[in-house]
Amino acid sequence: MQQDAGKKDTILLLGGSRQQVVAIETAKRLGYRTVVCDYLPDNPGQYVADVAYSTSTTDREAVLEVARSERARGVLAYASDPAAPTAAYVAEELGLPTNPLHSVEVLSRKNLFRRHLHAHGFPCPASREVDANAVDGARLAQLAHDMRLPVVLKPTDSSGSKGISVLDVADAASLDRALEHARSFSRNGILELEEYISYGFPRVVGGDVFVAHGEVRFWGLMSCLRDEELGGLVPVGERNPSGLTAAQERAVRSQIQDLVTSLDIQFGEFNVEVIVGPGDVPHFLELGARAGGNMIPVQLSDISGIDLVEANVRYAMGDDSMDVTFDGNQEAVCTYVPHARRDGTFAGIELSPDIEPHVYRTVMYLSEGDQVCRFDGANKAVGIVFLRFDDVGQMERLLDGISERIRVRVD
């Protein structure tokens, strides 16, 4: 299925999930021919794209062959951690717009990321790389002996906080359970054992930034909502403004730009997770080499008036004419990810009378009667609710107890 001369340019999109359909639709609106790769048979993107291949987005050579045969002029792994290195590999092989493959790989694997942070003098916790198949809980307990508690065990190649455990007690039994959990979400078998980063600012700083010509031009820094009853590891929304002081935000921005420069990143949207520790020192959890999940680009487009999905498509196709300059604002906006605290049958969501007037968009992933799982990762979300408030004070009052104001009914 080759592209005929004179036809419109083709963009290859890696992934056709619900959250990625918006990128396919945007590319079509911009006049591009769309080709999607996704090996899941029920991916909705295949019904939107002009051409669809049942190809794994992590199979570099297979995706490269698709790109060649379709004469792709650009490759985009929108909101996908696993596919980001594939997109960079294919683009490098074909001389298409991309950031350096090595840099994308560093950002996509937590162990390489920690090595880069150490090597370039960024603040980061003590950590150890672990072969998941060569250790047990007793060996991990030995490795953790000199670490400050709590410790964190995580896969190096997972996203959405999947497979992560925080342990206040680093004994063999606890670490055996954490090891089994991490293994189940690890493709490469490499885990990271590290000290937990203490909070100076009470929430994880999240959101996305957009880089153009090596400089961060779009500052979409927000802060993450968490469900503490489920361990507080998985984001259940993002709020704007972040709540950082001016000094804290300057420090975070400086570290992000320094990291972008150290990796020779030239363009694109990047997902940010930073903990501001004691003394207002920023510590990177990650700088993801792709747009954020949970529809963060859509949320930030609402806040800024800049269509970040369009920017992703244009820059991937080598069109860097779109101005993405945004310096943040104080608009009181947040998202909330409805989720279940137990397995069962989804019976709908209920909005309290005080929260309902603030909902301006709802995106549901499940229908009533579908099976729903206890929320332990972004892949278990029921949907996303977008909210707008009169001011920050009102937002903070209504976010207190938000899980009771937006309730998921489970039978």
Whether residue 165 is found in the same domain as residue 87 = no
Please provide the DSSP assignment of 109-142 as one string.
-HHHHHHHHHHTT-----EEEEETTS--HHHHHH
Q: Which two tokens stand for residue 315?
A: 């820059």
Q: Which amino acid is at 2?
A: Q
C-alpha to C-alpha distance for 80 and 22, rounded to whole angstroms = 13
Q: How many domains does the chain have?
A: 4
pTM of this prediction? 0.92
Residuewise pLDDT in 10s, the chain (411 residues): 344 445 799 999 999 998 899 999 999 999 999 999 999 999 999 999 999 999 999 999 999 999 999 999 999 999 998 999 999 999 999 999 999 999 999 999 989 999 999 999 999 999 999 999 999 999 999 999 999 999 999 999 887 678 999 999 999 999 999 999 999 999 899 999 999 999 999 999 999 999 999 999 999 999 999 887 777 777 899 999 999 999 999 999 999 999 999 999 999 999 999 999 999 999 999 999 999 989 999 999 999 999 999 999 999 999 999 999 999 999 999 999 999 999 999 999 999 999 999 999 999 999 999 999 999 877 789 999 999 999 999 999 999 999 999 999 999
C-alpha to C-alpha distance for 132 and 155, rounded to whole angstroms = 9
Whether residue 190 is found in the same domain as residue 202 = no
Distances (CA, A) of 236 to 82, 108, 399: 21, 22, 12
Q: Which residues of 206-233 are buried (b: 16+ CB within 10 A; e: fewer)?
A: bbbbbbbeeebbbbbbbbbbbbeebeeb
Flag whether 107 is in a domain.
no
Flag whether 109 is in a domain.
no
C-alpha to C-alpha distance for 197 and 195, rounded to whole angstroms = 6
Q: Which domain holds residue 183?
A: 126-195
Flag whether 185 is in a domain.
yes
Whether residue 214 is found in the same domain as residue 319 = yes
Whether residue 316 is found in the same domain as residue 368 = no
CATH code (residue 64): 3.40.50.20
79 close to 290: Cβ distance less than 8 angstroms: yes
